[in-house]
């Protein structure tokens, strides 16, 4: 049994467990992605082309971050509460594979929403995209980082507390991260904080992947994002290995 086979079997397990909810989950993701675009469009009015591009290329990041930081911890908290996590942990499976298989499931669920969000953005704001060849691995990196942070949060906090945290995060991510608007509109202290948080680098990476002619990825941001990715995956794996 190879690790890859085992991961795919676990993924199959998780995927089928969600089977009854799957259409609804995908639908909600699609709805959220489109609503983000149209909603921000209403807030801002008719944005000039550069702002429109910013908005259209920021929305996919919101979708990915929401799935990773909100849906993943909610599902993990649920499986902790219903007892299936403890049971799965008795299986002879390397701990990191739980993270990988969950991530695969959630990326697949987020994907239609992300794509339709991009399409909506292009249609609504009439912008031109120039996708970079590394857009797909960049998407996976953002997705992995967000899911690992969410995973760690849901493993370390009590389920009820983790659920509450996700509610707060939705609000913070939508309004107080430089994803859908440029960072220079924020107060200086918040800008400084975002230099060390993963959200701005995530947005920059997806943005420059979608519109590589208009945006570029600062090297520093990539380092910050990779550091978050490494730390959060290590943290989530540690949380899965932890013994009471």
* Tokens at 150, concatenated: 């969410």
* Tokens at 242, concatenated: 């932890």
Of 62-70, 83-91, 197-205, 210-218, which part binds other proteins (CB under 8 A)? 83-91
Q: If we measure between CA atoms, which residue out of 194, 198, 204, 195 comes closest to residue 227?
A: 198
DSSP track, 2-64: -HHHHHHHHHHHHHHHTTTTHHHHHHHHHHHHHHHHHHHHHHH-S--HHHHHHHHHHHHHHHH
The β-bridge partners of 211 are: 130
**Residue from the set 3, 38, 49, 82 that interacts with other proteins by CB under 8 A:** 82
**Scanning residues 59 to 78, which ones bind other proteins (CB under 8 A)?**
none
**Residue from the set 51, 84, 191, 212 that interacts with other proteins by CB under 8 A:** 84
DSSP-derived 3-state class of residue 89: coil
Under rule CB under 8 A, how many of the chain's residues touch other proteins? 24
Instruction: Note whether 10 binds other proteins by CB under 8 A.
Output: yes
Closest approach of other proteins to the CB of residue 15, in Å: 8
Instruction: Note whether 90 binds other proteins by CB under 8 A.
Output: yes
Closest approach of other proteins to the CB of residue 86, in Å: 7
Contacts of 150 (CB under 8 A, 6+ apart): 68, 69, 70, 71, 72, 73, 76, 166
Q: How many CB atoms lie within 10 A of CB 176?
A: 13
Run of H or E residues at 159: helix 159-176
**Residue from the set 3, 12, 130, 216 that interacts with other proteins by CB under 8 A:** 12
Instruction: Note whether 20 binds other proteins by CB under 8 A.
Output: yes
Instruction: Note whether 91 binds other proteins by CB under 8 A.
Output: yes
Instruction: Note whether 159 binds other proteins by CB under 8 A.
Output: no
**Residue from the set 35, 49, 50, 86 that interacts with other proteins by CB under 8 A:** 86
**Residue from the set 87, 176, 196, 238 that interacts with other proteins by CB under 8 A:** 87
Classify the phi-psi angles of 47: left when phi > 0, otherwise alpha if psi is within -120 to 50, otherwise beta: beta
Instruction: Note whether 243 binds other proteins by CB under 8 A.
Output: yes
Q: Which residues bind other proteins (CB under 8 A)?
A: 1, 6, 9-10, 12-13, 16-20, 82-84, 86-87, 89-94, 243-244
């Amino acid at each position: 049994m190879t690790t890859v086979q085992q991961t795919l079997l676990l993924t199959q397990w998780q995927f089928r467990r969600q089977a009854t909810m799957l259409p609804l989950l995908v639908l909600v993701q699609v709805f959220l992605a489109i609503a983000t675009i149209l909603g921000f469009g209403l807030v801002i009015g008719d944005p000039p082309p550069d702002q429109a591009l910013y908005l259209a290329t920021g929305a996919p990041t919101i979708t990915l971050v929401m799935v990773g930081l909100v849906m993943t911890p909610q599902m993990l908290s649920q499986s902790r509460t219903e007892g299936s996590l403890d049971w799965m942990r008795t299986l002879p499976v390397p701990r990191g594979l739980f993270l990988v298989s969950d991530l695969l499931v959630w990326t697949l669920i987020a994907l239609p929403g992300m794509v339709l969000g991009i399409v909506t953005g292009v249609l609504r704001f009439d912008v031109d995209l120039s996708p970079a060849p590394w857009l797909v691995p960049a998407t996976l990196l953002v997705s992995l980082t967000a899911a690992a942070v969410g995973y760690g949060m849901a493993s370390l906090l009590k389920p009820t507390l983790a659920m509450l945290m996700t509610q707060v995060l939705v609000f913070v991510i939508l309004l107080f991260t430089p994803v859908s608007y440029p960072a220079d509109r924020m107060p200086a202290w918040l800008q400084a904080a975002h230099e060390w948080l993963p959200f701005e680098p995530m947005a920059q990476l997806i943005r420059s992947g979608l519109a590589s002619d208009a945006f570029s990825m600062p090297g520093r941001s990539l380092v910050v994002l990779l550091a978050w990715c490494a730390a959060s995956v290590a943290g989530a794996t540690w949380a899965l290995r932890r013994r009471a």
